Chains A and B, each alone.
Chain A
Amino acid sequence: MVPVDSPFYRYHPVTRLALLVFLSVTPLFVDMPEINLGLILAALVLLRWGRVRMQQIRRYLPLLATVALFMFGVAFLAPGDRARLAPFRLAGLTFYFQPMWWAFVSYCRLVAMLFGAILYFSTNRERDTLVALRSLRIPFAVSYVAALSLRSAGMFMEDFRTIREAEQARGLDLESMSVGEKAKLYTMYTVPLFAVALRRADEISNALFARGYTLSGRPAGGGPRTDYLRRRYPVERRDWTLSAGLAAMFVVAIVLGKVMGVFSDQLSPLHGVALRAIGLR
């Protein structure tokens, strides 16, 4: 649920999209976990500042936990050529430092990128995404498909929920069901969605035709399409300032990270701390 009122809405949707790109892509050029942890912290601070209910973020925690379990589990079970790795013992088990460390570095990067998307989707309505795409002069058909996809996902999710609640009202007990039974039930619920989609496709395409929409999105007389909505979202000086700042930081991250190697994980203070902690230094 996107907050009704948020300081984010003072910024143009394109600026908010630029923030998404920055937070989602910058970690790719940064190996140093401290930097990525800093980006995660920045995203959390922005979520708070944006008046997002932090309870909403909790729903991602189980997934983040299982991802961590998976990544560290794989590093433990399949570390690679053991002869070339530095072992250490913990809780009676033998681990290997390099794959565990690399799992930690990758995990920090992954979570930093994820939080970029979480921040964006928690603070932007469908309309904001649509305005951002139209402001970037993405062809109207593409931005229309994007908007209709997001809206239809909401509609189908609602249909799915309605069917499930009706079943639960008739005594369906999901908790006691096995995985196989859940999978079967899931299939039964989702098949009708396709029939609904076919019907909606007909209805919506008829409605689009009735309102004069053509495949190209251009009006009958030719020329560019009027874009009234975009005019309602003026670009202010703060948008230019923030966008320029993000672009500059992005370039700096690439240069320092990949060209000069300043953000290498080997230069990370945590790397030294970890080595000392397990007695490898």
Chain B
Amino acid sequence: MNPAVEVDRFSWTYPLAASPAVCDITLTIPAGEFTLIAGPNESGKTTLAMAIKGLIPHSFPGRQAGVVRVFGEEVRRKEAAILAKQVGYVFSDPEAQFTSLTVEEEILFGLENIGVPESEIAHRIRHASELTMISDLLDKPPYDISGGQKQRVAIASVLAMDPEILILDEPTSMVDPLGKDLIVGICAELRRRRRLTLIVIEHNLEAFAALADRVILIRAGRIERAAPPREFFEDPEVLERSGVYPPQVTQVFARLRAHGLYRGALPLTDEEGIRAGDALLRGAGA
């Protein structure tokens, strides 16, 4: 079976740019994996994500080297509607992706584009809106709702198309803390319910670190590190120098370890931190 995504020595240079935005990237993402992509601003994360989605090169001029494949086929040879069925993309600014007059039409638009039969549409809208908790917003204009609701509408409109790969580009960046939790909850639920290949680009690693199967660090257009989360966050100081901040609980226990006060595995979540702290206090973690 083909992996979901294969990136083979891919480079991309935007017009008038002095250097490539991403350079010689090679990466394989198996179907069903949750990949978290981290890195400082302008490191090439979004460029890579857009190349997987097919926005590059279909929608952006520039120079490409190497190949990006989705389920074994080159992205640049696929049509927009086929790509839309296979790869869902949620932009960081939800308003930038709204094209319709009501939330319901926003979800409906993609379904009509990919030719979903009328008999199936109501069910898909209902299912996507329930999963993202926006069922009571269907009649509202997408501009008249909060930031968190907007992002959930954007996710719903992509989920309704039932993609096999879902890319979320900084989904919590324009959202309040409550909205962030809801979005993380949706990702966790997707992880649990479907065999969806999930790719999340985030600065805020706190929430997603424990959910991911693998974390990839991109810096200056290249992959610097790729590992399962526990291994990835093993050396927080190195990560911080690369402009990536591990979960706070990880940072705290890393400092304790640096001072010889803790010798166990670095926790990734608050719950793990509480257990590690508890063990430490009881003397078992030292």
Q: Mark A188-214, 1 if CB is under 8 A from B, else 0.
A: 000000000000100111111111111
Contact A212:B101 (CB < 8 A) given known A207-B96, A226-B121, A228-B112 = no
**Alpha-carbon gap, A213 to B111, bound state (A):** 10
CB-contact partner of A211 in B58, B79, B96, B161, under 8 A: B161
B109 / chain A contacts, CB cutoff of 8 Å: 211, 213
CB-contact partner of A228 in B85, B91, B101, B111, under 8 A: B111
B121 / chain A contacts, CB cutoff of 8 Å: 226, 228
A151 / chain B contacts, CB cutoff of 8 Å: 101
A148 / chain B contacts, CB cutoff of 8 Å: 99
Contact assessment for A212 and B108 in the assembled complex, using a CB-CB cutoff below 8 Å: no
Is B146 among interface residues, defined by CB-CB distance under 8 A?
Answer: no
Interface size of B by CB at 8 A reads 38
**Alpha-carbon gap, A102 to B118, bound state (A):** 55
Interface size of A by CB at 8 A reads 30
Is B80 among interface residues, defined by CB-CB distance under 8 A?
Answer: yes
Is A234 among interface residues, defined by CB-CB distance under 8 A?
Answer: no
Taking the closest CB of chain A, its distance from the CB of B93, in whole angstroms, is 7
Contact assessment for B161 and A229 in the assembled complex, using a CB-CB cutoff below 8 Å: no
Taking the closest CB of chain A, its distance from the CB of B35, in whole angstroms, is 19
Is B114 among interface residues, defined by CB-CB distance under 8 A?
Answer: yes
Contact assessment for A213 and B113 in the assembled complex, using a CB-CB cutoff below 8 Å: yes
Closest to B109 in A: A211
Is B84 among interface residues, defined by CB-CB distance under 8 A?
Answer: yes
Contact assessment for B118 and A226 in the assembled complex, using a CB-CB cutoff below 8 Å: yes
Contact assessment for B113 and A212 in the assembled complex, using a CB-CB cutoff below 8 Å: yes
- Which residue, A125, A147, A206, A214, has most C-beta atoms of chain B within 10 A? A206
**Alpha-carbon gap, A130 to B100, bound state (A):** 11
Taking the closest CB of chain A, its distance from the CB of B103, in whole angstroms, is 12
B101 / chain A contacts, CB cutoff of 8 Å: 125-127, 130, 147, 151
Is A180 among interface residues, defined by CB-CB distance under 8 A?
Answer: no
Closest to A144 in B: B99
Closest to A155 in B: B143
Taking the closest CB of chain B, its distance from the CB of A161, in whole angstroms, is 15
Is A219 among interface residues, defined by CB-CB distance under 8 A?
Answer: yes
Complex interface residues of chain A between 108 and 126 (CB less than 8 A to chain B): 125-126
Contact A231:B118 (CB < 8 A) given known A148-B99, A203-B97 = yes
Is A220 among interface residues, defined by CB-CB distance under 8 A?
Answer: yes
**Alpha-carbon gap, A227 to B88, bound state (A):** 22
Contact assessment for B97 and A219 in the assembled complex, using a CB-CB cutoff below 8 Å: no
B284 / chain A contacts, CB cutoff of 8 Å: none
Is A62 among interface residues, defined by CB-CB distance under 8 A?
Answer: no
Contact assessment for A203 and B96 in the assembled complex, using a CB-CB cutoff below 8 Å: yes
CB-contact partner of A213 in B80, B82, B89, under 8 A: B80
CB-contact partner of A204 in B80, B96, B112, under 8 A: B96
Contact assessment for A228 and B114 in the assembled complex, using a CB-CB cutoff below 8 Å: no
Contact assessment for B55 and A206 in the assembled complex, using a CB-CB cutoff below 8 Å: yes
Taking the closest CB of chain B, its distance from the CB of A133, in whole angstroms, is 13
B113 / chain A contacts, CB cutoff of 8 Å: 211-214, 219, 225
**Alpha-carbon gap, A203 to B89, bound state (A):** 13
CB-contact partner of B83 in A204, A206, A212, A228, under 8 A: A212
Is A221 among interface residues, defined by CB-CB distance under 8 A?
Answer: yes
Is B40 among interface residues, defined by CB-CB distance under 8 A?
Answer: no
**Alpha-carbon gap, A16 to B114, bound state (A):** 31
Is B262 among interface residues, defined by CB-CB distance under 8 A?
Answer: no
A171 / chain B contacts, CB cutoff of 8 Å: none
Taking the closest CB of chain B, its distance from the CB of A134, in whole angstroms, is 11
- Which residue, A125, A209, A210, A219, has most C-beta atoms of chain B within 10 A? A210
Which B residues lie at the A interface, using CB under 8 A? 53-55, 58-59, 79-85, 88-89, 91, 93, 96-99, 101-102, 105, 108-118, 121, 157-158, 161
28 A/B residue pairs, CB under 8 Å, sorted by A: A130-B101, A203-B96, A205-B59, A206-B91, A206-B97, A207-B98, A209-B59, A210-B97, A211-B109, A211-B110, A211-B158, A212-B83, A212-B113, A212-B161, A213-B80, A213-B109, A214-B79, A214-B80, A220-B80, A220-B82, A220-B114, A225-B112, A226-B111, A226-B112, A228-B111, A228-B118, A229-B105, A231-B118
Which A residues lie at the B interface, using CB under 8 A? 125-127, 130, 147-148, 151, 200, 203-214, 219-221, 223, 225-229, 231
A212-B85, A219-B115, A226-B117 are known contacts; what are 16 more A-B pairs with Cβ within 8 Å? A127-B102, A147-B101, A206-B55, A206-B59, A207-B91, A207-B99, A208-B99, A210-B84, A210-B158, A211-B161, A212-B110, A214-B113, A220-B80, A228-B112, A228-B118, A229-B108
